Amino acid sequence: MRYLRNPDGIALVTSLMLTLISMTIVMALLYMVTQNIQMSSQQRKYHSAMDASYGGTEIFVKDIFPYVLQNYSTSSMISTVTSNFNNVNLQINTTQECLEKKLTLSTRDWPSECSKTPEPKKSPDMNFTLQASAGNNFVVYSKIVDTVQGNTDQSGLQLEGSGVAESSSISKPMHFPYIYRLEIQGERQNNSAAQANIEVLYAY
């Protein structure tokens, strides 16, 4: 019996195995680079939306919401508020009656047509537009989702304490007629994936 001893086949198999291993390493590196690029892009979109949400929250709680609280009982409240904030294209999407109930009644006493779902974009009370330095603008949606009556009424009078010329050792807590929970969402126009939500507890 005669054995054939030809090493050429072994060399071919070895080279094919090394090629396969090299291709696997290259494909794995390409996959990791692609995933990192996608993650960086998603993080950049999220941070942009988060910055817009923070900016929208500042505008809403420091400018728009206090103005609404001062004028909610006037008959032309919606037109007055929207005209005063037309530079951000403010839109009030709920009725004046519903907004007034949300501002003055506990959540359990709201009418059924007043939305209390935690999603700000679903039936928002208000929305406005923030201009972006690059790309599409951001739309900020806001909604009152919970109202709790505070520890006093809206008169602003302190019910305890002493006279002007007297001293008192009574501890006087801060008075808040109402406490509101607000849901705010900033979202890039025409790109719902670029969004961020913020929850605000507002004491009035």
* % the chain with pLDDT above 70: 83
What's the pLDDT tens digit per position in 2-42? 555 656 667 777 888 888 999 999 999 999 988 888 787 77
- In this predicted structure, the answer to whether residue 113 has a pLDDT above a threshold of 50 is yes
- In this predicted structure, the answer to whether residue 116 has a pLDDT above a threshold of 60 is yes
Q: Is 140 within 8 Å of 89 (Cβ atoms)? A: no
Neighbours of 194 (CB within 10 A): 22
Residue 121, SS3?
coil
Q: Is 168 within 8 Å of 161 (Cβ atoms)? A: yes
Q: Are strands 91-92 and 126-130 parallel, antiparallel or unpaired?
A: antiparallel
Element (H, E) at 16: helix 8-59
CA dihedral 11, 13, 16, 21 (to 10 degrees): -110
Higher pLDDT, 194 or 12: 194
Cα–Cα distance for residue pair 126/132, rounded to 1 Å = 19
The residue behind tokens 């942009």 is: 48
Cα–Cα distance for residue pair 86/81, rounded to 1 Å = 9
Higher pLDDT, 176 or 109: 109
- The edge-to-edge listing of strands for the beta sheet with 138-149 is 91-92, 126-130, 138-149, 178-188, 191-203
What's the pLDDT tens digit per position in 145-178? 999 987 655 554 443 434 444 455 555 555 667 8
What's the pLDDT tens digit per position in 37-61? 878 777 777 788 888 889 889 999 8
- List helix spans (H) across 60-151: 65-71, 77-84, 96-104
Cα–Cα distance for residue pair 65/136, rounded to 1 Å = 25
Provide CB contacts within 8 A for 48, sequence distance 6+: 132, 188, 194
Higher pLDDT, 193 or 84: 84
How high does pLDDT run on average in the chain? 81
Sign of CA dihedral 105, 109, 111, 117: positive
- In this predicted structure, the answer to whether residue 107 has a pLDDT above a threshold of 50 is yes
pLDDT for the residue 142: 93
pLDDT for the residue 4: 55
* % the chain with pLDDT above 90: 22
Mean pLDDT of 108-122: 90
Q: Report CA Rg, the chain.
A: 30
